[in-house]
Structure 1
Amino acid sequence: MTRVLDTVRRVLVGRPYDTERLGSRPLRRGVALPVFSASALSSVAYAPDEILLTLALGGTAALALGPGIGLVVVAVMLLIVLSYRVSIRAYPRGGDYAITRANLGPWAGVTAGAAMMLDLVFAVAVSVAAMAHYLAAVFPALAGREPWVAVGGVVLLALANVRGTGRGRTVPAVLVYSFLALLFGMVATGLLQDLGGALEPARSAAMEPVPDEAFAQGLGGAAVAVLAVRAFSSGSALATGVEVPASNVDAMAAPRIRTARFVMLAMGLLAAASTAGVMYLAERTGVVFVLDPATGLRTAAGEPVPADYVQNPVLAQLANAVFGHGAPLAGALMLAVAVLLVLAGHSAFKSFPELTSRLARDGYLPRQLLTRGDRLGYTNGIALLTLAALVLVAGFRAQTALLVQLYVIGVFLSFTVSQLGMVRHWTRVLVQTPGTRARQAVRTRRAVNLIGFVVAALVAVVVLITRFSQGAWVALLAIAAMVFVMSRIRAHYEAVAAELDLTPAEDARALPSRVHAIVLVMGVQRPTLRALAYARASRPSSIEAVVVDLDKEATRSLLAEWDRLELPVPVTVLASPYREMAEPLIRHLRALRRTSPRDLVVVYIPEYVVARGWQSLLHNRTAARIKDRLHREPGVMIASVPWQLSGREPSGAAVEAGAKAQ
């Protein structure tokens, strides 16, 4: 069984990597830009959908607000990007958790860490869910099977990260540049077609969104404001992923800070230009996008949509409108979007284990998350992220719109606290900075981070208010629960450290007064004789063999064999009327400890080790259960005496001799 499992493990995971392979070459600007921008650029695949989906609640007329709201969202995203560019100067090896912990204290840092963990889990879930919908747009046979495609995406991403696949940088860079070329090619072609009057309407333009009951009476001033604010809160998903370059400055080529700031700025401008172009073309082609086409759309004649109508994501609709429905370039763009979303999910699979390992190093998460696997990845962190992402994908049926509503909460909460931490950092630096010019530079940086803090806080409040009833409270509750759990984990580790640390009153050379050896006897066999020999060789102050009387006939036979062999160790028989092995032994040990509390008791437990893993299923593992109970007894040491079984089948003569002996 062990060999079979090891073979399966090697097939799935591969051979172990040497620790020396852990390092990687720093990335120059041309490669760092696409590699660390995939997460931010992937939001272009679903942020426009969220804006149009919300505006559709107000009917066809409300869709005209799309480009304007898109520009506001772009402005907010650029402000956050500028704030992170300033943060990089002070914390090139930081990230939101490190910045918040250093400037606002450990518990603010834990809150930021919890928000970031939730953010990364949703990043995977949203990425694979959106990927599934884009694949269904290319391959119509997948329509209706998006949840299964998304689940498969999570599993494949997890396996790839466990194997260490994707450590190369060239292929991801080429894929991201291909996406950008196709996307901006579509935007440029669409703008030229629009100028020439040749831009075709999207297929959904023939449909009309059914207004929500709250807006059924028309769009007045207040209704427009409410709808615009809700659309803005949905579209703020565009800002997700912009923090990735700031967390990977060490992976960039020197001068690292300058390279990271360039990547941040270029990433922000690319995301801004592409989003603005997509929102403009969506308005010009009449793209309509709703949560449920069966109930949210109707034809121009007021009839329900056809049963075979399939709603594609906004970028897919635009690609078909600009390049032609089913055209190779349209399919290529949709496939490029799907690949970009996979890269974004892969980025989250790298960031989440690194974040959890840092939290574990600080004592807020289990230390198992510090362990690297065979291929140098934090395997336990990958497994935790995989499980959480699968729960979200299955629970929300891979509906991107529903997932994004919860995704944004964690993103802007971490933005807010980290920017507040930067404001406090620059305030401290300002006090210690001499010179008028230097102080003015610090004031400027503080002002940028202050604006970033105010904007992020306002967006977080808007999102929370507008999305509270849609599930935003769940995200807040999850963050609060994670902070509570991490606080208890930290308290446990602190208590353990306090108990284990040496005190001035302790003598490191102290020895126990006496040592009592107890050999647990379950049968007179080779393992028992070996345990007796080891116990006697240790020269304890006293030694006794203990037999738990589970079966009187078997006990009498054991004592008779003991006398026949003339073993020089006294035997104590413990009664067990309820046929328990551990309890009588523990009562005997406690009685011995009461009479001599300063003495040490060593229990020798003979046990045999099977040659093949499956053979362990044939044995009741009594020794393991007893050791588990004895571990909790103070003043009691356990000495395991293993007997390794060869696994060879006995000969006929040996079987006959054994039968006669029995």
Structure 2
Amino acid sequence: MRSEELGETLLPKRLALPIFASDPLSSVAYATQEILLVLTVGGTAFLYLTPWVAAGVVALMAVVVMSYRQVVHAYPSGGGSYEVVSTNLGARSGLVVAASLLVDYVMTVAVSVASGVDNIISALPGLADHRVLMAVGFVALLAAVNLRGVRESGNAFAAPTYLFIAGIVLMVATGLVRTAFGHTPVASSAAYGIVPVDGKDTLAGLGLLLLGLRAFASGCTALTGVEAISNGVPAFRRPKSRNAATTMAVMGLTAVVMFVGITALALITKIHITDDACRLTGFPGDCHTAPQQTVIAQLAAAIFGGDHSVLFYYIQTVTALVLILAANTAFNGFPLLASILAEHRYLPRQLHTRGDRLAYSNGIIALAVVAGGLLWLYGANVTSLIHLYILGVFTSFTLSQIGMVKHWNGLLANETDASVRHAAHRSRVINGFGAVTTALVLVIVLLTKFTQGAWLAVLAAIVLFAMMRGIRRHYDGVAEELAVDDPHAESVRPSRVHGVVLVSKVHKPTLRALGYAQAFRPDSLEALTVEVEKEATEELERQWESLGVQVPLKVLDSPYREIAKPVVGYVREYRRTNPRDAVAVFIPEYVVGHWWEHVLHNQSALWLKSRLLFTPGVMVISVPWQLSSSSRADHPARRAPGAVRRGEPTARSEHEKLPAPENVRRS
């Protein structure tokens, strides 16, 4: 796609919802389960806390959605939390947010895909042994689809997201209607007893409070990905801010309805699920190897008449699909944020470049590689990965809300219009409340998850923060070093140019390099060879003389059979004695057609170039010689349409002037 076609990739709200909101929408599939896994450490005694924990999650979702709607309107250029914090709290705070979000985007991919694989295994237990392979394969598939472009990924992912929403709403409605008419569905695990973890069934006071807070922290996984819409405002159609804010409101309302419905039905059907199946009394099969069914799977089986019904497989299919596709939120957010950071010189510039399909290809590939490695390292286990999750989200939530409060303070200090001031006051209250709330949740998450693995996410964010600071220092240092202070002094010509042609044998590549060097018309020119074997050097000198080559041949002695060191030493000595001269070193190189031929050729040339490039005042010039195998890579069938190989006849007359290529604007 041409750069001018970027506008055609802008998204309507119906496609923006599955692209940017699939993560928070799909997280309802495991948020309730994570709450239950924590509360059942005390057996069934503390399940009565579930509604209160869920209510806290819903209230927090409402606060965060309202807060980020203010961000969307105030900062429509994208960048989300990073831009808000960088603008209002400074570059260092912005980097803290950026590092936290990048880590959390990686975790979003890992957790979403692992949870999706869990739901597949719930329907097809025989696939349990292939968990990791399936997870890594899905990450590769997501990356491939996203490399096709934002709009294409939206078209591919829209249907599963809407089918998931419809399926969950149907399941919740059916379950509640059955309950209202006295036909309460019962989960298959309701008959299992739960053995409490030693000492956990008698928790009271502070211990009970900490257990509830830990369950709340786990349930807050339902909020992951909420900020992705604020990062992707530029991808929306006009009016961008209004469309993004509307999409965020729809996302929040839909997620809350599904989360509340699933949690209510989990309590009604008496689902029993634990972090260790061996604590379930009456559990069929080997508790060490047999997987537990997920909460969604148990609900679908209980409500739709067993785990062999059509609707059960429908729910499991769309849930697995949307959980895997939820990683698409990160595949859009991570490359976009990385592109902004690269533009600000905090990440390598390659991450700012769009690919052929106008997607940030390098960012997509980097995310896929890191997330795939994490899934392989943790065996695609949701319980292990979940502890590394959501810490970064609430770091960015908190700092962005503080930044928005400062933004509104600055606006109120200069604004005189009464209606604008009223709106700013209202927004400041929303963001201020959001800052306090998310800060408290951040503390809770940090306290309850740090020792269970969240310290790794903290460490990764710290390392990423330090790395980005180092990259910025490097780019700043290079820019300062390359800045032109005195154009006349910087563009001064060398006094003389001394040409050196490296020679190993007298053959066609050598003679071409000599001819090319002579065409440069250096002030002086010589050929240079290194004597590794005396007989070979003597033969080379005889051939040189017999051919009548007018360029003098100089032989460097190498008692230790090295090639690069004598050449580099000779060139550096010349530069030391002639500091105002430039040295042009011509190196004959083979052009090969197969990857394995690179191992057989050009190794000495590559090593020489790598050494000579560190020598000031030395220009290294490769003179290619195409071997016959290289011509196969230029076969007419492999060339772009309209391309003409050198020497091929064309249909144009000899005197007809060729038009300038389309990409040439001036000459």
- TM-score between both structures, scaled by the size of structure 1: 0.91
- Once the two structures are overlaid, the 10-residue window that deviates more, 91-100 or 638-647, is 638-647
- 1:38 corresponds in structure 2 to 22
Q: Does 1:562 align with 2:544?
A: yes
Secondary structure of the residue that 2:628 maps to in structure 1? Answer: coil
Structure 1 counterpart of 2:23, one-letter code: S
Change (3 A) 1:648 1:335: closer
Q: Note the 1:483-498 alignment, pairs <5 A.
A: 483-498=465-480
> Residues of 2 paired with 1:306 and 1:603: CA distance?
71
> Residues of 2 paired with 1:527 and 1:50: CA distance?
68
- 1:545 corresponds in structure 2 to 527
Q: Does 1:97 align with 2:97?
A: no
* Deviation at residue 585 of structure 1 after TM alignment: 0.7
- 2:105 corresponds in structure 1 to 120
Once the two structures are superposed, residues 181-213 of structure 1 have per-residue CA deviations (whole angstroms, 9 ceiling, x without a partner) of 211111111112222221121111111222222
1:151 pairs, out of 124, 136, 141, with 136
- 2:157 corresponds in structure 1 to 172
Change (3 A) 1:616 1:394: closer
> Residues of 2 paired with 1:57 and 1:594: CA distance?
76
Q: Does 1:430 align with 2:415?
A: no
Q: Does 1:631 align with 2:616?
A: no
Change (3 A) 1:400 1:611: closer
Q: Is the 8 A contact 1:35 1:176 kept in 2?
A: no
> Residues of 1 paired with 2:14 and 2:346: CA distance?
37
* Deviation at residue 306 of structure 1 after TM alignment: 6.5
* Deviation at residue 239 of structure 1 after TM alignment: 0.7
- 1:162 corresponds in structure 2 to 147
Q: Is the 8 A contact 2:54 2:260 kept in 1?
A: yes
> Residues of 2 paired with 1:417 and 1:260: CA distance?
21
> Residues of 1 paired with 2:190 and 2:525: CA distance?
90
Q: Is the 8 A contact 1:160 1:166 kept in 2?
A: no
* Deviation at residue 620 of structure 1 after TM alignment: 4.9
1:516 pairs, out of 498, 507, 513, with 498
- 2:198 corresponds in structure 1 to 213
> Residues of 1 paired with 2:156 and 2:369: CA distance?
28
> Residues of 1 paired with 2:497 and 2:456: CA distance?
57
Q: Note the 1:218-233 alignment, pairs <5 A.
A: 218-233=202-217
> Residues of 1 paired with 2:574 and 2:290: CA distance?
80
> Residues of 2 paired with 1:173 and 1:448: CA distance?
31
- 1:197 corresponds in structure 2 to 182
* Deviation at residue 593 of structure 1 after TM alignment: 1.1
Structure 1 counterpart of 2:464, one-letter code: M
> Residues of 2 paired with 1:66 and 1:274: CA distance?
16
> Residues of 1 paired with 2:511 and 2:39: CA distance?
82
* Deviation at residue 370 of structure 1 after TM alignment: 2.7
* Deviation at residue 49 of structure 1 after TM alignment: 0.9
Q: Does 1:277 align with 2:261?
A: yes
Q: Note the 1:66-85 alignment, pairs <5 A.
A: 66-85=50-69
1:109 pairs, out of 82, 89, 94, with 94
Secondary structure of the residue that 1:66 maps to in structure 2? Answer: helix
> Residues of 2 paired with 1:133 and 1:321: CA distance?
18
- Once the two structures are overlaid, the 10-residue window that deviates more, 59-68 or 138-147, is 138-147
Change (3 A) 1:219 1:284: farther
Once the two structures are superposed, residues 513-547 of structure 1 have per-residue CA deviations (whole angstroms, 9 ceiling, x without a partner) of 11111111111122222222222332322222211
Q: Is the 8 A contact 2:217 2:445 kept in 1?
A: yes
1:297 pairs, out of 272, 280, 283, with 280
Change (3 A) 1:313 1:304: closer
- Once the two structures are overlaid, the 10-residue window that deviates more, 337-346 or 163-172, is 163-172
> Residues of 2 paired with 1:591 and 1:235: CA distance?
69
Change (3 A) 1:569 1:34: closer
> Residues of 1 paired with 2:311 and 2:620: CA distance?
70
Structure 2 counterpart of 1:179, one-letter code: F
- 1:583 corresponds in structure 2 to 565
- 1:535 corresponds in structure 2 to 517
- Once the two structures are overlaid, the 10-residue window that deviates more, 428-437 or 553-562, is 428-437
- 2:485 corresponds in structure 1 to 503
Q: Is the 8 A contact 1:298 1:305 kept in 2?
A: no
2:294 pairs, out of 307, 313, 318, with 313
Q: Is the 8 A contact 2:590 2:601 kept in 1?
A: no
* Deviation at residue 123 of structure 1 after TM alignment: 0.7
Q: Is the 8 A contact 2:592 2:629 kept in 1?
A: yes
- 2:125 corresponds in structure 1 to 140
- 1:86 corresponds in structure 2 to 70
Once the two structures are superposed, residues 280-308 of structure 1 have per-residue CA deviations (whole angstroms, 9 ceiling, x without a partner) of 111111111211212x32239xx997678
Q: Is the 8 A contact 1:297 1:304 kept in 2?
A: no
* Deviation at residue 127 of structure 1 after TM alignment: 0.9
> Residues of 1 paired with 2:458 and 2:264: CA distance?
34
Secondary structure of the residue that 1:607 maps to in structure 2? Answer: strand
> Residues of 2 paired with 1:133 and 1:474: CA distance?
23
> Residues of 2 paired with 1:377 and 1:253: CA distance?
17
Structure 1 counterpart of 2:304, one-letter code: F
- Structure 1, gaps ≥5 residues long: 1-16, 650-662
Q: Is the 8 A contact 2:10 2:151 kept in 1?
A: no
* Deviation at residue 505 of structure 1 after TM alignment: 6.8
Change (3 A) 1:543 1:252: closer
Change (3 A) 1:312 1:467: same
Secondary structure of the residue that 1:250 maps to in structure 2? Answer: helix
- Once the two structures are overlaid, the 10-residue window that deviates more, 539-548 or 592-601, is 539-548
- 1:257 corresponds in structure 2 to 241
Q: Does 1:479 align with 2:464?
A: no
Q: Note the 1:588-603 alignment, pairs <5 A.
A: 588-603=570-585
Secondary structure of the residue that 1:491 maps to in structure 2? Answer: helix
Q: Is the 8 A contact 1:202 1:285 kept in 2?
A: yes
Structure 2 counterpart of 1:331, one-letter code: Y
> Residues of 2 paired with 1:427 and 1:556: CA distance?
84
Structure 2 counterpart of 1:192, one-letter code: V
Structure 1 counterpart of 2:542, one-letter code: A
Q: Is the 8 A contact 1:74 1:238 kept in 2?
A: no
* Deviation at residue 31 of structure 1 after TM alignment: 4.2
Q: Does 1:244 align with 2:225?
A: no
- Structure 2, gaps ≥5 residues long: 632-667
> Residues of 2 paired with 1:640 and 1:368: CA distance?
26
Q: How many matched pairs?
A: 629
Secondary structure of the residue that 1:345 maps to in structure 2? Answer: helix
* Deviation at residue 633 of structure 1 after TM alignment: 0.6
* Deviation at residue 435 of structure 1 after TM alignment: 3.4
Q: Note the 1:337-356 alignment, pairs <5 A.
A: 337-356=319-338
Change (3 A) 1:30 1:379: closer
* Deviation at residue 227 of structure 1 after TM alignment: 1.1
